[in-house]
């Protein structure tokens, strides 16, 4: 490249950099003024936009140092567009022409036949794909900056690239155009009404509706397994389920779900309820139903979740059954809490848990999965400022962040359907649960982000102190069953495998098909996904998988066979309230019914 060309490229990129810097400054000024006038508004999403602008500024700054890389990308892009123009010209005169670029497998945005059959829309689609691929390839070549990581560069760039997809605009989406013509524009009017309704539901915290909320009611058509609340404190209600067998295993079963959402993902409906299945296998099942916290619980810490979650539950279960030991299951963050509790009990030399089962659980946080784009000192500092201001982390902000990890499937597809096509969201219990989030107390959330995700202290002997005790995961000798899922983007299976290696007792690691939810909630009757098993636990996860056997069906039956050795003898079935604990109310209880907006008022 000639020196003059290089200088021109550098000057052009510097202008982009200057523009981003100016826009970010103006945006920050406008945001500060807006927040001063609206002190109670949640600024989580707005701060994300500011962080994104800072990320773009870092990218532009890096690109000024690599003019040849930029020029090469531009040259290749021009060549590709020339091919596209030639292919389109051939189609115009009736000749066959292979596409220059095609959507990636699993990209459902361009499924309508007009995206291929109609030359105009085919050209728009391919031009967009060429441009977006070039941008992402260029961004992928960048390295971490002082304030942002390569993963953040990729994430934020992907958000802009996918937001600009022609499928998201009525004039460049053939499906929307056809519907607009056939309905006389009624779809756009209906879509605007739905947009207004969504905004009214969440002013200042916009989330698009993903399902028909009126179709579901907790306790009526989700979370319906019969049981009773037999204990409660300010942190949780403990549900004991009604037995369905005359005899039950002597050792009770305690389930610890995550507190970042509600427990009934394990009890959506009878045919796929893990809770119902566990009861039907002859277990006395207890589950923790976490409180949906508001500002009043701002000083609640991670150790409070341990003390007033599993530890209080153990004491309550002893009163309910007479048993001092339980078998325990922890799901996601509930599994991280279970590991921490086991390490605490080990340090205190207390044997209260016979066996532990971890479902898609991170203990080693060295690779936090998709959420890692939000894990850095700068982002966490901004979150901590918000936590200090209001006393809790709004669950709607977390739901939005998780949705943006799969933005085309979990955001833009609903924007198109709801607002452009004007269609009502369909009833879907899983998406109802996904939208029924929970808040997180300020102290706990800040502690968890820094100590687990950012500093990975849980894997360090003595790196975490809970209730005055320095814990060490490697001291745990309790037999454990690790269930991970091969497509999990929240708790990547190779990272959860590292957590399994930390334990000193007997360990069984099982890998289910599918992802974080479907791979766990996979009843045997469906005969879906399958799972891998390997009796060995080599140091390397790839070696484990290489020697693993693929099994058909669900991991549930494999777990049942493993767990029977810790179940104890058969005893008469226990009914909630038949011993020292009195029934407080019917399951699912009051705590799980509290929505985010109502929790914030408390």
Q: What digits encode the pLDDT tens for the residues 74-87?
A: 899 999 999 999 99
Question: Predicted confidence band at 51 (pLDDT cuts at 50, 70, 90)?
Answer: confident
What is the arithmetic mean of pLDDT over 515-539?
95
Q: What is the mean pLDDT of residues 419-433?
A: 94
Looking at residue 290, its pLDDT comes to 98
Write the DSSP symbol of residue 548.
P
CB distance 395 to 260 below 8 Å: yes
How many CB atoms within 10 Å of residue 597?
A: 13
The label of the residue with tokens 């829309």 reads: 121
Q: With bands split at pLDDT 50, 70 and 90, how would you rate the model's confidence at 58?
A: confident
Please state, in angstroms and as integers, the Cα–Cα distance from residue 1 to each residue in 8, 72, 241, 275, 594, following that order: 11, 10, 73, 66, 64
Position 16 scores a pLDDT of: 45
pLDDT at position 27, please? 46
- Top-confidence residue, 17 or 286: 286
Closest CA to 253 of 148, 380, 354: 354
Least confident of 62-71, 217-226, 576-585: 62-71
Q: pLDDT at position 382, please?
A: 83
Whole-number Å distance between alpha carbons of 581 and 571:
19
The answer to whether residue 42 scores a pLDDT higher than 70 is no
pLDDT at 70: 85
Q: Which has the minimum average pLDDT: 21-25, 137-141, 362-366? A: 21-25
Active-site residue list:
332
Residue 228 in tokens: 């009773």
Q: If you average pLDDT over residues 52-70, what whole number do you get?
A: 82
**Are the beta carbons of 265 and 433 closer than 8 angstroms?**
yes
Cα 575 to Cα 481: distance, rounded to the nearest angstrom: 28
Q: Give 56's pLDDT tier (boundaries 50, 70, 90).
A: confident
pLDDT at residue 3 tops 60: no
Mean pLDDT along residues 3-25: 49
Whether pLDDT at 109 is above 80: yes
Closest by CA position to 165, among listed 341, 337, 415? 415
pLDDT reading at 119 higher than 70:
yes
Q: 568: burial class by Cβ within 10 Å (0-12, 13-18, 19+)?
A: middle
Q: What are phi and psi of 239, to 5 degrees?
A: -100, 130
What sign has the CA pseudo-torsion 450, 451, 452, 455? positive
Which pTM was predicted?
0.88
Say what percent of the chain tops pLDDT 90: 74
Distance separating alpha carbons of residues 521 and 523, to the nearest angstrom:
6
Helix (H, G, I), strand (E, B) or coil at 466: strand
Q: Compute the chain's Rg from CA coordinates.
A: 27
Q: How confident is the model over 158-209, as pLDDT tens digits?
A: 999 999 999 999 999 999 999 999 999 999 999 999 999 988 887 666 789 9
Average pLDDT, the chain: 90
Q: What residues contact 42, with CB distance under 8 A and at least 6 apart?
A: 204, 205, 386, 390, 394, 396, 397
Over residues 476-481, mean pLDDT: 98
Q: Enumerate residues 6+ apart whose C-beta is below 8 A from 115.
A: 121, 122, 125, 174
Neighbours of 453 (CB within 10 A): 18
| pLDDT the model gives residue 34 | 46
DSSP, residue by residue, 127-195? HHHHHHHHHHHHHHT----SS--HHHHHHHHHHHHHHT-GGGSGGG-HHHHHHHHHHTTHHHHHHHHHH
Phi, psi (rounded to 5 degrees) for 19: -65, -45
3-state secondary structure of 231: strand
Share of the chain above pLDDT 70, in %: 91
The reported pLDDT for the residue numbered 2 is: 46
What six digits make up the tokens of 546?
């290489």
What pLDDT is stored for residue 269 in this prediction? 93
């Amino acid at each position: 490249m000639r020196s003059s060309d290089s200088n021109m490229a550098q000057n052009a990129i510097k202008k982009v950099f200057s523009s981003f810097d100016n826009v970010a400054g103006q945006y920050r000024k406008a945001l500060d003024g807006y927040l001063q006038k609206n002190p109670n508004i949640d600024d989580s999403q707005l701060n994300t936009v500011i962080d994104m602008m800072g990320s773009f500024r870092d990218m532009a700054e890096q690109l000024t140092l690599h003019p040849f890389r930029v020029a090469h990308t531009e040259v290749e892009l021009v060549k590709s567009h020339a091919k596209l123009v030639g292919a389109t010209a051939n189609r115009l005169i009736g000749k066959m022409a292979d596409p220059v670029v095609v959507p990636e497998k699993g990209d459902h945005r361009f499924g309508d036949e007009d995206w291929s059959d109609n030359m105009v829309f085919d050209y728009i689609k391919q031009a967009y794909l060429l441009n977006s691929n070039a941008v992402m390839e260029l961004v992928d070549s960048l390295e971490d900056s002082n304030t942002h990581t390569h993963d953040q560069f990729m994430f934020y760039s992907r958000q802009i690239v996918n937001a600009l997809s022609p499928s998201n605009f009525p004039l460049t989406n053939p499906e929307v155009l056809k519907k607009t013509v056939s309905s006389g524009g009624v779809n756009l009017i209906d879509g605007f009404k739905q947009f207004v309704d969504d905004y009214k539901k969440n002013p200042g915290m916009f989330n698009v509706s993903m399902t028909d909320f009126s179709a579901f009611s907790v306790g009526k058509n989700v979370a319906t397994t019969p049981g009773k609340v037999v204990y409660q404190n300010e942190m949780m209600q403990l549900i004991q389920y009604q037995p369905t067998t005359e005899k039950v295993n002597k050792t009770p079963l305690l389930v610890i779900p995550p507190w970042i959402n509600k427990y009934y993902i394990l009890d959506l409906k009878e045919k796929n309820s893990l809770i119902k299945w566990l009861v039907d296998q002859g277990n006395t099942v207890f589950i923790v139903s976490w409180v949906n916290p508001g500002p009043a619980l701002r000083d609640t810490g991670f150790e409070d979740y341990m003390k007033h979650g599993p530890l209080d539950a153990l004491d309550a279960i002893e009163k309910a059954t007479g048993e001092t030991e339980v078998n325990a299951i922890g799901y996601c963050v509930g599994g991280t809490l279970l590991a921490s509790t086991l390490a605490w009990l080990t340090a205190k030399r207390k044997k209260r848990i016979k066996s532990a089962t971890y479902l898609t659980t991170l203990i080693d946080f060295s690779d936090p999965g998709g959420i890692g784009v939000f894990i850095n000192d700068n982002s966490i500092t901004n979150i901590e400022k918000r936590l200090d201001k209001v006393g809790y982390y709004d669950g709607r902000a977390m739901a939005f962040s998780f949705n943006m990890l799969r933005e085309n499937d979990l955001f833009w597809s609903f924007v198109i359907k709801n607002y452009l096509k004007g269609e009502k969201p369909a009833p879907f219990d899983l998406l109802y649960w996904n939208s029924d989030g929970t808040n997180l107390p300020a102290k706990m959330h800040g502690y968890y982000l820094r100590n687990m995700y950012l500093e990975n202290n849980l894997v360090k002997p003595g790196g975490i102190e809970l209730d005055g005790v320095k814990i060490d995961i490697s001291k745990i000798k309790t037999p454990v069953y690790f269930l991970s899922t091969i497509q999990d983007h929240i708790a990547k299976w190779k990272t959860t495998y590292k957590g399994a290696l930390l334990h000193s007792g007997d360990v069984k690691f099982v890998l289910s098909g599918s992802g974080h939810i479907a791979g766990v909630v996979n009843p045997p009757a469906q005969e879906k996904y399958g799972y891998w098993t390997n009796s060995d636990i080599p140091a390397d996860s790839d070696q484990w998988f290489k020697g693993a056997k693929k099994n058909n069906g669900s991991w549930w039956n494999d777990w049942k066979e493993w767990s029977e050795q810790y179940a104890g003898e058969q005893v008469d079935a226990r009914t909630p309230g038949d011993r020292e604990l009195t029934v407080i109310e019917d399951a699912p209880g009051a705590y799980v019914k509290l929505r985010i907006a109502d929790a914030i008022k408390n």
